[in-house]
Amino acid sequence: MDSNARVASVLEEVADLLELKEDTFFQVRAYRRVAREISSLTEDIKDLYVRGHLDQIPGVGKAINDKIVEILRTGELQYLNDLRNEFPAGLLQVMQVPDVGPKTAGRLYKELKVTNLQDLKAAAEQHRIRMLKGFGEKTEENVLKGIRYLESRQGRMLLGYAYPRGRALEEHMRERGFDMVSLGGSLRRMKETIGDIDILVGSSEAERAMDAFVSYPQAAEVMLRGETKTSIRLQDGVQVDMRVVSPSSYGAALQYFTGSKEHNVKMRSLANDLGYKVNEYGVFRLSDGAKVAGETEEGVYEVLGMQWMPPEMREDRGEVDLARKGQVPRVVTISDICGDLHTHSEASDGIDSIEAMARAAEARGYEYLAITDHSQSLTIGNGLSAERLLESMEHVRKVNEAHPKIRLLVGTEVEIDEKGGLDYPPKLLEDLDIVVAAVHSRFKMTPLEMTERLITAVSNENVNILAHPTGRIIGEREGYSFDMDKVMQAAKDNGVAMEVNSFPERLDMNDLHCAMARERGVTISIDTDAHNVRQLDYMLYGVATAKRGWVPPELVLNTLSWDALRKRLKL
């Protein structure tokens, strides 16, 4: 739902510029509220527009409604262009500097004629910022750090790139005797892309922790070293920030630095209503300042009358209210997964043999593994002709005889043609254990055409799973446009699972699509699309995506035991 992100981004920029312009607080807040509501939608805003239901989005009145329509119709907003023309273009960059924001940028522009990052850097280095009322030497230092941060950033990382690096650093600290160690921030919440890696350590020996951190073999540069926070840059350019807190505050700091910002705002508001203050040091009674929790994260939530919830759920999508009622839902975890239903071997475009894939799945404790090599029309993927597929089917069954502890399913990732037809004849598909259908071509069809194409495919009696449903590649290719609600309904009606493809570049469906599937009772299948044995570990990222959408294990096809799956697939 890239249109949701686009509309929300435009409205957020409008809010920033209105704040820079010192417009009314209420108008700024209105745009920010609507932008946030759109970001949290579990369906495409284009579908709401087509149905005439934009007014169902909280906060959308006629003025904002008209602007959303203009964005959807033209791809831009003239009102935003007019606001941009009122200020130097470089001020937008200035507002991106941490701890600056629209109000500060406005003052710097009016009082110091700062119009871009270069002006800001010069003003800070020449110590002109500290001369402004309400500013000081510390503010000036923070501005310079923020500028260096922006200059050094190399863009956001995929979850699958950041996570192994974060875990390796966790392990490094544990090996050096620190038991209270955890990832933090968006990486702990397992968002699909990550900025910098955050590590939290609970220890009374902060100096020793800093020494251990900067000794990490992959560290290329120590960017900042302080008493409680140190930042390093790894050899591949990734920035890692480590904070050290006392053990008695570790749980509170973990909760605080995990976020999200919106979740924490809700927590602080709730705490205040209950007579407490929550920060990274603990939970304190307002009446006498006594600390009542902080050592464990569970304790922080408990003292506020809340259930603990997985970090992936902390995006202020209703989890706080559920936690207060003791109704945090059970969501799927990696231990629930019984097998992988979408993988490739060297027969098509995979690297490892079927035997190697079987051994690797067996080592992971799986009950089953589906080998689903590409079908014939995907020549770029060395797709199998009907004859080669028959040979592969025979080979898979022979390998299975040699590995009786795991059940190998004979399958295919079959191409969906432009009309929704499949790449193999029905009789051949009927002989397979599992059919995973996918689109790899003709992405620029109209939304109506693509919707019909996908509905036709999932209505085919031989299809079991719709693979990577939107076709997106994160940061490289937007997904194709179609009516997700209609396709999900067709999948549900036909007993077809919608896939969460765990490949880090895909994570398709995303977390909001997962929430949409959950709300509609649509079965999903969390698969890796692995092309070698190591990629079977990608399962973790797909599970995290489903957790972010609050998907329960009973809605996940591959949490079924082998006996239950066999009945489901009618094998």
Q: For 540-555, write each residue's pLDDT tens digit.
A: 999 999 999 999 999 9
Per-residue model confidence (pLDDT) at position 179: 95
Distance CA 392, CA 396 (A): 6
Distance CA 219, CA 267 (A): 35
Topology annotation, domain 249-324: Beta Polymerase; domain 3 (3.30.210)
Distance CA 548, CA 401 (A): 38
| The residue to which tokens 């997700």 are assigned | 484
What share of the chain in percent tops pLDDT 90? 68
Distance CA 565, CA 552 (A): 17
Residue 42 has pLDDT above 80, yes or no: no
Q: How confident is the model at residue 521 (pLDDT cuts 50, 70, 90)?
A: very high
Distance CA 398, CA 535 (A): 24
- Residue 244 belongs to what H/E stretch? strand 239-245
User: Worst-scoring range by mean pLDDT, 157-161, 364-368, 548-552?
Assistant: 157-161
Distance CA 28, CA 283 (A): 32
Per-residue model confidence (pLDDT) at position 408: 97
Task: Please give the distance of CA 89 from its chain centroid, rounded to a whole number.
Answer: 30
Q: How confident is the model at residue 373 (pLDDT cuts 50, 70, 90)?
A: very high
- Residue 291 belongs to what H/E stretch? strand 291-293
Look at strands 197-202 and 180-183 and give their pairing.
antiparallel
Residues with Cβ < 8 Å from 141, sequence gap 6 or more? none
User: Worst-scoring range by mean pLDDT, 28-37, 340-349, 410-419, 483-492?
Assistant: 28-37
Opening angle at CA 527, ends 452 and 533, nearest 5:
135
Q: What is the mean pLDDT of residues 54-80?
A: 90
User: Worst-scoring range by mean pLDDT, 23-27, 284-288, 426-430, 486-490?
Assistant: 23-27
Per-residue model confidence (pLDDT) at position 149: 58
Per-residue model confidence (pLDDT) at position 146: 76
Per-residue model confidence (pLDDT) at position 151: 62
Mean pLDDT computed over every residue of the chain = 92
| The residue to which tokens 């602007």 are assigned | 67
User: Worst-scoring range by mean pLDDT, 95-104, 200-209, 279-288, 507-516?
Assistant: 95-104
What share of the chain in percent tops pLDDT 70? 97
Distance CA 486, CA 449 (A): 13
Reduced to 3 states, what is the DSSP secondary structure of residue 43?
coil
Q: What is the mean pLDDT of residues 179-183?
A: 97
pTM (two decimals): 0.76
Q: Report domain extents, the chain.
A: 2-152, 157-245, 249-324, 334-569
Q: For 435-481, write each residue's pLDDT tens digit.
A: 999 999 999 899 999 999 999 999 999 999 999 999 998 877 778 88
| 2-152 CATH choice from 3.90.420.10, 1.10.10.10, 3.40.50.980, 1.10.150.110 | 1.10.150.110
Distance CA 283, CA 290 (A): 8
Distance CA 164, CA 537 (A): 11
Which homologous superfamily is 334-569 in? Metal-dependent hydrolases (3.20.20.140)
Number of H helices, E strands in the chain: 24, 17
| Residue of 390, 467, 454, 458 whose CA lies nearest to 427 | 390
User: Worst-scoring range by mean pLDDT, 36-40, 81-85, 153-157?
Assistant: 153-157
Contact predicate 377/415, CB 8 Å: yes
Topology annotation, domain 157-245: Beta Polymerase; domain 2 (3.30.460)
Q: How confident is the model at residue 128 (pLDDT cuts 50, 70, 90)?
A: very high
Distance CA 332, CA 541 (A): 12
Q: What is the mean pLDDT of residues 184-197?
A: 94
Q: How confident is the model at residue 22 (pLDDT cuts 50, 70, 90)?
A: confident
